Amino acid sequence: MVSRETSVPPPPLPGWLEAHRASLTAFAGLLADVGVERGLIGPREVPRLWERHLLNCAVVVEPGDGFIPTGIRVADVGSGAGLPGLVWAIVRPDLQIVLIEPLLRRSVFLAEAAAELGVADRVEVRRDRAEDLSRTSGWHAADVVTARAVAPLERLIGWTVPLLAPGGRLVALKGSSASAELAEGHAAASAAGLVDLEVREFGAGVVDPPPTAITGVRRAAQ
């Protein structure tokens, strides 16, 4: 899988992302070309790939703020075109990323993209439904589970919380609806074992508007 160069140049990047400029640009090229061709991303998204997608995902895992610890296992539910999972694999090479995607054409793209971007050694692609994975003997619980615009919180918690290790964190990437979703789904999230629920913003001054996530920690076993 070889892409043409994206016609959208990268914007100025914060210092910690400069080392990953070439790989992020290569991923932008894959999304703008193969991603559009295979229906993984809409052609209207191409001019805003950096602001709306690549940087929007990258700033969540800025290593300096300690929110996503070093060297952990992360599961990306409904990874689709690799957002945020492949971006995180590029900008945080210390992480082990599991991309969970049930659709064949998307899982094939993810595996090919991981190989082409040089991150296959730290990325595992699982063609599975998230709600089935936690019941399989081969699943190793994740320290962080993320999902980006996959489903409303009340539905999402049933797919994500069982994949978390006790003490692990859910990072559900949302837009402007995050506060309303948390208010509506707070009781269900608490019943599923999540504590310390909050809405958190990332990348202030880098991305406008900054990405927003609903986060919570899976209660440790008593």
pLDDT tens-digit map of 140-177: 999 999 999 889 999 999 999 999 999 999 999 998 88
Residue 54: what pLDDT?
97
Write the pLDDT tens digit of every residue in 18-27.
999 999 999 9
110 Cβ contact partners less than 8 Å away, ≥ 6 residues apart: 79, 82, 85, 86, 99, 101, 123, 125
pLDDT tops 60 at residue 47? yes
Average pLDDT over residues 182-208: 94
Q: What domains appear along the chain, each with residue ranges and CATH number?
A: 66-218 (3.40.50.150)
Residue 159 per-residue DSSP state? H
Residue 80: what pLDDT?
95
Q: Is-cis flag, bond preceding 209, omega within 30? A: yes
DSSP string, 35-93: IHHTTSS-GGGGGGIIIIIIHHHHGGG-GGG-SS-TT-EEEEET-TTTTTHHHHHHH-T
Mean pLDDT of the chain: 93
Q: How far apart are CA 99 and CA 80, in angstroms?
A: 9
Residue 176: what pLDDT?
87
pLDDT tops 70 at residue 81? yes
